[in-house]
Structure 1
Amino acid sequence: MNLWAPLDQENIRNPFPMYATLRREAPVYKSQTGEWIISRYADVKTILKDPRFRSGNKLEWINRGITYFKSKDQDLSAIASAITSFLLLINPPEHTRIRKLITSVWNDREVDQTILENVDSLLNIKSEDNTFDIVEDFARPLPNMTICKIMGISMEHYQHLTTLSNNLVKILNLYNSFKDLVRIDSAARDFISFFRELLDIKKQRPDNDLISKLIVANASEREPLSDDALISVFIFLFIAGQETTIGLVSTSLLTLSKYPSQLNTLAGNPELMPNAIDELLRYDGPVHLLGRIASENIELGGHCIKQNDTVTLCLASANRDSRHFENADILDITRQPNRHLAFGSGIHFCLGDWLAKRQGALAIQRFLEVYPTYSIVDHTLQWNDNLSIRTLKHLSCRV
Structure 2
Amino acid sequence: MTSRSVVGAISAEEADEVVFEILGGETGRADPYPLYRRLREGRPVHSSPSTGVWFVSDYGVAKQVLHDPRFGRGEGSMMGALADAEVAERSGEMRRSSRNMLFADPPDHTRLRGLVSRAFTPRRVEELRPRLVDLVDPLLDVVAGDQEVDLLDAVAFRFPVAVIGELVGVPEADRDQFRTLVRASTAMIEASPSAEALAEAQRSMGEMSDYFHDLVARRRREPSGDLLSAMIAIEDADGDRLTEDELVSTAILLFGAGFETTTNLIGNGTLCLLRHPDQMARLRDDPSLLLSAVEEMLRFESPVQLDARSALVDAEVAGRRVEAGTSVVTFLGAANRDPQVFAEPDVFDVARSPNSPLSFGWGIHHCLGAHLARLEGEVVFGRMLDRFARIDLAEEPVWRQSITLRGLEGLRVSAVIAPGVDA
Assess same fold via TM > 0.5: yes
1:94 matched to 2:108? The reply is yes
Between the aligned partners of 1:298 and 1:186, the Cα distance in structure 2 is: 36
What is residue 173 of structure 1 aligned with on the other side? 190
- SS state at 2:177 partner: helix
Find the residue that maps to 1:159 and give its secondary structure. Answer: coil
Contact 2:54/2:327 (8 A) holds in 1: yes
Using the alignment, how far apart are the partners of 1:220 and 1:183 within structure 2? 40
Judge which range, 348-357 or 365-374, deviates more: 365-374
Q: Is the 8 A contact 1:114 1:149 kept in 2?
A: no
Distance of 1:348 and 1:78 partners within structure 2:
20
Superposed displacement of residue 243, structure 1: 2.2
Looking at structure 2, the residues matched to 218 and 28 of structure 1 have their Cα atoms a distance apart, in angstroms, of 43
The answer to whether 1:8 aligns with 2:22 is no
TM-score, normalised to structure 1, is 0.91
Change (3 A) 1:121 1:171: farther
Long gaps (5+) in structure 2 = 1-13, 416-423
Q: 1:209 to 1:30 in 2, by over 3 A?
A: same
Structure with the bigger RCO (C-alpha within 8 Å, sep 6+) is 1
Q: 1:361 aligns with which of 356, 366, 378?
A: 378
Partner of 2:296: 279
Kept in 1: contact 2:79–2:192 (CA 8 A): no
What's the secondary structure of 1:271's corresponding residue? Answer: helix
Mean Cα displacement is larger for which, 128-137 or 335-344? 128-137
In structure 1, the residue matched to 2:66 is 48
Separation in structure 2 between the aligned mates of residue 134 and residue 256 of structure 1, nearest angstrom:
13
Deviations 1:324-347 (A, max 9, x none): 111111112212121221111111
Cα distance in 2 for partners of 1:30, 1:391 equals 28
Query: Which residue in 2 is equivalent to 1:37?
Result: 55
Q: SS in structure 2 opposite 1:238?
A: helix
Show the counterpart of 1:383. 399
- Alpha-carbon shift at residue 218 of structure 1 (Å): 4.1
Work out whether residues 77 and 185 of structure 1, in 8 Å CA contact, stay in contact via their aligned partners in 2. no
Give the structure 1 partner of residue 231 of structure 2. 214
Correspondent of 1:204 among 221, 224, 234: 221
Preserved CA contact (<8 Å) 2:115 2:241 = no
Question: What is aligned with 1:392?
Answer: 408
* 1:80–1:325 distance in 2 versus 1, CA, 3 Å: closer
1:221 and 1:162 map into 2 onto residues whose CA distance is 38
Distance 1:395 1:80 in 2: 32
SS in 2 for 1:299: strand
The farther-off stretch of 95-104 and 197-206 is 197-206
Q: How does 1:243-258 map to 2 (within 5 A)?
A: 243-258=260-275
CA contact (8 A) 1:282 1:320 kept: yes
Cα deviations across residues 100-158 of structure 1 (Å, max 9, x unaligned)?
11111122021123322221222122497611212122212222211111122211111
Deviates more, 1:186-195 or 1:159-168: 159-168
Distance in structure 2 (CA, Å) of the matches to 1:359 and 1:197: 29
Q: What SS class does the counterpart of residue 290 from structure 1 fall into?
A: strand
Quote the Cα distance in structure 2 between the aligned partners of 1:358 and 1:257: 21
1:169–1:239 contact (8 Å) kept in structure 2:
no
Distance in 1 separating the partners of 2:92 and 2:31: 36
Further displaced range: 308-317 or 169-178: 169-178
Task: Kindly state the Cα deviation for residue 229 of structure 1 after the two structures are TM-superposed.
Answer: 1.5
Residue identity in the other structure for 1:171: M
| Superposed displacement of residue 294, structure 1 | 1.3
AA paired with 1:38? V
Q: For 1:289-324, what per-residue CA distance to the aligned partner results, in whole angstroms no more than 9, with x for missing partners? A: 000111233333454322211111011111100111
The SS at the match of 2:402 is coil
How far is 1:68 from its partner?
A: 6.8
Name the structure 1 match of 2:4. none
Letter in 2 for 1:256: L
* Distance change in 2, residues 1:58/1:397 (3 Å): same
- Measured at CA, do residues 77 and 349 of structure 1 come closer, stay the same or move farther in structure 2, by a change above 3 Å? closer
User: 2:268 and 2:132 mapped to 1: Cα distance?
Assistant: 19
AA aligned to 2:412 is: S
225-234 vs 213-222, greater mean Cα deviation: 213-222
Partner deviation per Cα, 1:64-85 (whole Å, 9 max, x = no partner): 859977xxxxxx999558x613
Counterpart AA for 2:103: L
Counterparts in 2 of 1:389 and 1:142: CA distance versus 1, 3 Å:
same
Contact 1:28 1:303 in 2 (8 A): no
Secondary structure of the structure 1 residue equivalent to 2:389:
coil
Displacement, 1:255? 0.8
Distance 1:192 1:301 in 2: 41
Match 2:246 to one of 219, 229, 234 = 229
CA distance in 1, matches of 2:190, 2:131: 29
Q: Following the alignment from structure 1 to structure 2, what is the Cα–Cα distance between the partners of residues 387 and 142?
A: 23
Contact kept in structure 1, 2:298 and 2:359, CA below 8 Å: yes
Equivalent residue number for residue 105 of structure 1: 119
Equivalent runs, 1:119-130 vs 2, <5 Å: 119-126=136-143, 130=147
Deviation at 1:284, TM superposition (A): 1.5
CA shift for structure 1 position 59: 7.6
Match of 2:148 in 1: 131
Cα drift, residue 60 of structure 1: 9.8
